[in-house]
Amino acid sequence: MQKQGIGKLLILDAIEKAKHMGAKVIEIGTGNSSIHQLSLYQKCGFRLQAIDHDFFIRHYDEEIFENGIQCRDMVRLYLDL
């Protein structure tokens, strides 16, 4: 079901709901190896905020690999509403 725009629609809907609830900022986090998710979030207007180094090493018992990259760091993004 990927590449059909469903994820983008869900994110845009969440943004609208947050605005109606009076939120000023939305924050989201994903792994450094999540190339497609990072691209999607930025296309939806999110901006890079911080990197929580070794987040997935500290909080997960097993190693995670995506796209041939070890997922080690949490990449945090934000969107001002």
| Number of domains the chain contains | 1
Could you list the residue range(s) of the whole structural domain that residue 51 is in? 6-80
71 in any annotated domain: yes
Residue 78's closest CA among 33, 44, 34, 36?
44
pLDDT tens-digit readout, 66-81: 999 999 999 999 999 9
Quote helix, strand, coil % in the chain, to nearest 5: 35, 30, 35
Entry pTM: 0.87
Task: Tell me: pLDDT of 2 over 80.
Answer: no
1 in any annotated domain: no
Residue 72's closest CA among 48, 55, 60?
55
Dist. CA 41–CA 30, nearest whole Å: 10
